[in-house]
Chain A
Amino acid sequence: MTVLAGIGFTTPWLLLGLLGLPILWLLLRAIPPAPKREVFPGVTLLLGLQDDETVSDRTPWWLLLLRLLAVAAIIVGLAGPVLNPSGDKGGDGPLLIVLDATWAGATRWKARMGLMDAQLAKAGHNGRAVAVLRLSVPGNLVFQSADVWRGRLAGLEPEAWQPSGEQINSVLAALEAVEGDFDSFWHGDGLEYDRREELLTALEARGDVTVFQGVGAVLGLTPAFIADGAIELRAVRSVAGPAREVTILAQGRDPAGIARVLASVPARFKAGEVQATTTLSLPAELRARITGFEIQGQKSAGALSLADDGLRRREVAMIAGRDDREGLELLSPLHYLNQALVPSADLLEGAIPDLIPANPDVIVLADVANLSGTEETALIEWVETGGMLLRFAGPRMAASDLSRADEHPLMPVRLRAGGRSVGGAMSWGEPKELAPFTEGSPFYGLSVPDDVRVTSQVVAQPDPTLANRVIAALSDGTPLVTRKSLGLGQIVLFHVTANAEWSNLPLSGLFVEMLERLAVSSSAKPPAAADLEGTTWRPLEVLNGFGDLIDGATLPGVAGPDLAEAPAGPDLRPGIYDSGDRVLARNVLGIDARLVSANWPAGTSVQGLSVAREVLLGGWLLGLALALLTLDVVASLALTGRLGTRRVANVLTGVIVCGLAVMGTERVQAQQDTRHAVAATSELVLAHVLTGNQQVDDIARAGLQGLSDTLFFRTSIEPSTPMGVDLERDELAFFPMLYWPITPDQPVPSAEAYARLNTYLRSGGLILFDTRDSHIASFGTASPNGRMLQKLAASLDIPSLEPLPNDHVLTRTFYLLQDFPGRHNSRDVWVEAAPPDAEQAEGMPFRNLNDGVTPVVIGGNDWAGAWATDRDGRPLLPVGRGFAGERQREIAYRFGVNLVMHVLTGNYKSDQVHVPALLDRLGQ
């Protein structure tokens, strides 16, 4: 490539062609413009006139210059000019491209892919074999042609975790498996991780390593938690740079379920600090709808913090049976529950009928034995729709007959009378301690403190179902907590009181943990590994590196402690997990995470992401030449006086049409339906049913066109161009009237089409059936068309018919008519029958007939044939002989006008029936 003044040329010898330009100048200058021919009827007046001057114009210099510039642009363009020709050859031999491919690089992933594309292009140009390795998801090294990798670029995505030791190990193994030396391009995301130096050393041993890493800090967001009633948010960055403000958005769903930004709050990094904290205070209703927080402008999983139960405060309604003992707060059955739940739940108190409409998550009944019938029904209904009823025993329950003989629907077990006391002054034995929780219990994994003792309890009757319902038991095996499900919800019974009367369980930390496990409350901070001991969590949705949630239903479950503490990786993807009623979010960053930027040892070549691309100028120059030549055409036309606005418009239209034709082909199909609907509804349109017989359809269309023209000219109805209607496909509701010519061979519509036709008829549409054969067959006789009509109309919802009576409103909607001819003049025209009780009023020329429009008009007069006109407005088909039938054609038009008027105005003209009554009322 030859470089001239910063621009390289691929074929510089072509530039010699520029020497030929002066010769072209002389040639062009010598040729005068050609004469043009004009048609001009006034030439008789010109004959014999002489020109004053006989010298013709020469081509002007500026036009010559234009043409020479165009030719020069073509020559230079073909010589292949390149802007920013890259000097370096780009090396040879195999090339390994290593990508961190973590969430930290996701925000600038597009720029990175652009850079990688350029590198691959260059490698392909130099014929280098390339392998691509993602450290977050390592695979084997496969050296392939660069073009193959370019095609797979779009499929490369960052992952939501950092490479861990396990992955580095497999990378090192993959490197071992490859023989020979290769150069490496390492696309770092800018964050430090374990054993990076080890990998760098391994790569440097095989060839040169160049690192490409973006400048600027990586931003992250740690999980949100609630402190003092407000949401605490903490943003971190990898480089302590100057002061910077970021906006944190709270994403969630509005009441309609549409994802939107619920709130936004700024967080400010002070200069030299790597973290910024802020608080966000939201109403509980709004807070419960938050699905996650993200840093505005960042598109990475690390800058996203998913919300879980920790942010969602449950509503707990508490009802105690003993509210008569005022003042004894520590003895209140609800006191310890209050203390346990206040930090993490919203508490409601009141009566059951008032509480159930508030739809709390949990209702606590502490020592409530008797419920009224309506309360019980309401509670059962509420539990069955997913509520959780938490009951505590107590003296009242022990003394009552609740769930004694038969299991009460709101109790998990039957109870023995009276309960029992152990370890009291009047009883033998020691107070009982708790047995360790068994596997399968929701409390499995919680450690039982030694000092918890139970002195009294209610005792369950041994039933066949009891074993399944016990979720916690005392050391002697008697049930302490039992549970049963009812509908979508569940009922849990603590066999002790909620206060410290019967046991010291409510005083222990275990009580709070048990409530958490039952999803009665949720902890404010992300749980620790110990809290989740023994649980298994199911991934609902997991994050990819960009922070998009993808369905996690196909992924295996995760053990609770792992979810809390193990580093994220392919086996533990950040995302939303659930277990029973609890939902936990595993975020990319831990609650006290810090971001450490990667430090490359001195001597490593580190470059940024920006790239100066080679720009091929050839296309632009050829385009310029084309533009100049177009300009030359316009200028030449202007010089010879042939430039009319019309011609320029034609040229421009041609250019634009060519351009649009390329762009807009796909959209045409999509717009067609809409356009059809708009055309049919923006103006009144008469329509005919397409029969499939081309000749009949054409006549029907021409007939409706003729009728439309007549209506337009004579009446205030101004229809647009008529349309053909395909009964199977098109919407009928747009058309006030359908003309249906009958042919013996037309297809019978499908059941759906009939359904729509019936809807059309019932909603006020009118169909004009035309058998077109009344010159050979009177109505009802078995002509082929008549038989076809019977077949077609059999499935239609047509009322009883009668021959058009003389006082029908059709005879006077616009013209006064007694005949309804088309090309044939038969009196057999049938319409909906008048009701049998229609009577002729005294002194009126017509009866008081039914309201509404007759849904069908059936005849055989070939009306469309009489109406049909060609584009010049001349009738297509003769009526009668010569011009003699013009009167009949005129009456046919009048029938058409009357019919359309009838469709559009209904029985307006029949209202004259009431004229005598109106006049009477007016006193005349």
Chain B
Amino acid sequence: MNTGRASGPSLRERSEAEASRLPPLLAKAEHLAGTVLMGEHGRRRAGMGDDFWQYRPVQIGDSKRLIDHRRSARGDMQYVREREWQIAQSVMLWVDQGASMRFASQASLPSKIDRARLLALAIAILLVRGGERVGLTGTSLPPRRGNTQILRLADAFAHDTPDEYAPPEHRAMTPHSRALFLSDFLGNLDEVKLALTKAADRGVRGVLLQVLDPEEEQFSYRGRTIFESVGGGLAHETLKARDLRDKYLDRLAKRRDELTQLTRATGWQLGLHHTGDSAQSALLWLYRALDGGVR
């Protein structure tokens, strides 16, 4: 309430509006990540049972709570338990925030951008709990560790970009880190190619996850129709939409082939996720795809 008063109502209102655009992403992502932790990967999480490193005598400046009483009680000295210092990997995320992602064919389905953000945040939570550093590609949010980074990521995901089809952000990628790109990859493929080759040059390996709406795979439109892009910039009119189905699906398959070729050439992995499917299966796939290289 103090901030609200200090920064004036307009900022408060705007941030409320921003926040309303994002569904309860953070809580959902935590929940989603929680379901994975219950399973096979639960024991890899850093926490209370962290790897033991050594006992060392108490020094000036140590909090009394850090004293390991079980060890100290054996003698007159007081000891502090130290934990293993682990070298963390950096994972860079890029989520397509373009207009084309703001699409859901039915009200019961989440939009592609919601699903992509959810997956990105959930994987970020998993990675942070695993001790990795997570950030965004580009200069806005460099990789860091800790729960605070999750909050910053959630904040960053709350902003859309006005572009119709956003090109992948490939600047400032840490060398030899890992990357995760989430998009529908319906825009210009040359940009993707540029980003991937640049990443490969820097030794960055990673995962492309294509997030599509089920309607984009089925194309069940009929009758006289004008198709428009989400931003309204592109339009195509047809008298019999059903006749276009096969040609469209052809082109879609061709585009996926191109992506497969590209990832194969650069050493990345390509995944496909439909917003109609469960987010958990996609998260598991992502976690394994990234996990394989991390440890």
Binding site for B on A (CB under 8 A): 33-47, 49, 51-57, 639-642, 644, 646, 695, 699, 709, 713, 865, 870-874, 877-878, 883, 886
Chain A's closest residue to B251 (CB) is A45
Verify B2–A878 contact, CB threshold 8 A.
yes
CB contacts (< 8 Å) of B226 on chain A: these are: 35-38
Query: What distance in Å separates the Cβ of B197 from its nearest Cβ neighbour in chain A?
Result: 22
Using a CB-CB cutoff of 8 Å, which residues 197-255 of chain B contact chain A? Answer: 213, 215-216, 219, 221-230, 234-241, 243-244, 247-248, 251-252, 255
Contact of A41 among B20, B22, B100, B106 (CB under 8 A): B100
**Interface flags, B34-66, vs A, CB<8A=1, else 0:** 100000000000000000000000000000000
Verify A695–B1 contact, CB threshold 8 A.
yes
Query: What distance in Å separates the Cβ of B273 from its nearest Cβ neighbour in chain A?
Result: 15
Verify B224–A640 contact, CB threshold 8 A.
yes
Query: How many A-B residue contacts, CB cutoff 8 Å?
Result: 145
CB contacts (< 8 Å) of A709 on chain B: these are: 27
Verify B19–A51 contact, CB threshold 8 A.
no
A35, A40, A46, A878 — most chain B CB neighbours (10 Å): A40
- Indicate whether A42 sits within 8 Å of B27 (C-beta atoms), given known contacts A49-B248, A870-B19, A886-B147: no
Chain B's closest residue to A57 (CB) is B223
Verify A40–B229 contact, CB threshold 8 A.
yes
CB contacts (< 8 Å) of A33 on chain B: these are: 223-224
Interface residue B31 (Cβ < 8 Å from any Cβ of A): yes
Verify A641–B221 contact, CB threshold 8 A.
yes
Contact of B236 among A39, A43, A644, A699 (CB under 8 A): A43
Verify B25–A872 contact, CB threshold 8 A.
yes
Q: How far is the CA of A46 from the CA of B100 in the complex (A)?
A: 14
Verify A872–B228 contact, CB threshold 8 A.
no
Chain A's closest residue to B165 (CB) is A44
Q: List 12 A-B pairs, Cβ < 8 Å.
A: A37-B226, A38-B227, A40-B228, A41-B184, A51-B239, A639-B223, A640-B223, A646-B107, A695-B1, A713-B30, A874-B19, A877-B2
CB contacts (< 8 Å) of A51 on chain B: these are: 238-240, 243-244
Verify B186–A39 contact, CB threshold 8 A.
no
Given A42-B219, A43-B234: 14 more A-B contacts, CB < 8 Å: A35-B226, A39-B228, A39-B229, A41-B230, A42-B186, A42-B252, A44-B165, A51-B240, A640-B223, A641-B222, A713-B31, A870-B19, A872-B23, A878-B3
Binding site for A on B (CB under 8 A): 1-3, 19-20, 22-28, 30-31, 34, 100-101, 103, 106-108, 112, 147-148, 151-152, 154, 165, 184, 186-187, 213, 215-216, 219, 221-230, 234-241, 243-244, 247-248, 251-252, 255
Verify A36–B223 contact, CB threshold 8 A.
yes
CB contacts (< 8 Å) of A646 on chain B: these are: 106-108
Q: How far is the CA of A41 from the CA of B70 in the complex (A)?
A: 62
Chain A interface secondary structure, helix, strand, loop or mixed?
Answer: loop
Verify A872–B24 contact, CB threshold 8 A.
yes
Q: How far is the CA of A646 from the CA of B108 in the complex (A)?
A: 9
CB contacts (< 8 Å) of A699 on chain B: these are: 1
Which 6 A-B pairs give the minimum distances between C-beta atoms?
A641-B222, A873-B27, A41-B100, A641-B223, A35-B224, A873-B26
CB contacts (< 8 Å) of A38 on chain B: these are: 221, 225-228
Q: How far is the CA of A137 from the CA of B141 in the complex (A)?
A: 96
Contact of B234 among A47, A640, A877 (CB under 8 A): A47
Verify A36–B2 contact, CB threshold 8 A.
no
CB contacts (< 8 Å) of B24 on chain A: these are: 871-873
- Indicate whether A41 sits within 8 Å of B103 (C-beta atoms), given known contacts A49-B244, A49-B247, A56-B224: yes
Verify A41–B186 contact, CB threshold 8 A.
yes
Chain A's closest residue to B213 (CB) is A41
Verify B1–A47 contact, CB threshold 8 A.
no
Verify B239–A43 contact, CB threshold 8 A.
no
Q: How far is the CA of A874 from the CA of B223 in the complex (A)?
A: 45
Verify A45–B255 contact, CB threshold 8 A.
yes
CB contacts (< 8 Å) of B241 on chain A: these are: 641
- Indicate whether A872 sits within 8 Å of B27 (C-beta atoms), given known contacts A41-B100, A640-B223, A877-B1: yes
CB contacts (< 8 Å) of A40 on chain B: these are: 103, 215-216, 221, 227-229
CB contacts (< 8 Å) of A54 on chain B: these are: 239
CB contacts (< 8 Å) of B148 on chain A: these are: 883, 886
Q: How far is the CA of A42 from the CA of B19 in the complex (A)?
A: 28
CB contacts (< 8 Å) of B228 on chain A: these are: 37-40, 43
CB contacts (< 8 Å) of A877 on chain B: these are: 1-3
CB contacts (< 8 Å) of B107 on chain A: these are: 646
Q: How far is the CA of A46 from the CA of B243 in the complex (A)?
A: 12
- Indicate whether A42 sits within 8 Å of B23 (C-beta atoms), given known contacts A36-B223, A878-B3: no
Verify A46–B19 contact, CB threshold 8 A.
no
- Indicate whether A46 sits within 8 Å of B227 (C-beta atoms), given known contacts A39-B103, A641-B241, A874-B154: yes
CB contacts (< 8 Å) of B223 on chain A: these are: 33, 35-36, 57, 639-642
Chain A's closest residue to B34 (CB) is A713
Query: What distance in Å separates the Cβ of A369 from its nearest Cβ neighbour in chain B?
Result: 94
Q: How far is the CA of A639 from the CA of B223 in the complex (A)?
A: 8
Q: How far is the CA of A42 from the CA of B236 in the complex (A)?
A: 11
Chain A's closest residue to B107 (CB) is A646
Q: How far is the CA of A46 from the CA of B3 in the complex (A)?
A: 49
Contact of A45 among B30, B112, B243, B252 (CB under 8 A): B252
Q: How far is the CA of A61 from the CA of B112 in the complex (A)?
A: 42
Query: What distance in Å separates the Cβ of A885 from its nearest Cβ neighbour in chain B?
Result: 11
CB contacts (< 8 Å) of B251 on chain A: these are: 45
CB contacts (< 8 Å) of B252 on chain A: these are: 42, 45
CB contacts (< 8 Å) of A641 on chain B: these are: 221-223, 225, 241
B28, B213, B230, B240 — most chain A CB neighbours (10 Å): B240
Q: How far is the CA of A872 from the CA of B34 in the complex (A)?
A: 17
A35, A41, A49, A695 — most chain B CB neighbours (10 Å): A41
Chain B's closest residue to A877 (CB) is B1
Chain A's closest residue to B99 (CB) is A41
CB contacts (< 8 Å) of A44 on chain B: these are: 165, 186-187, 229, 234
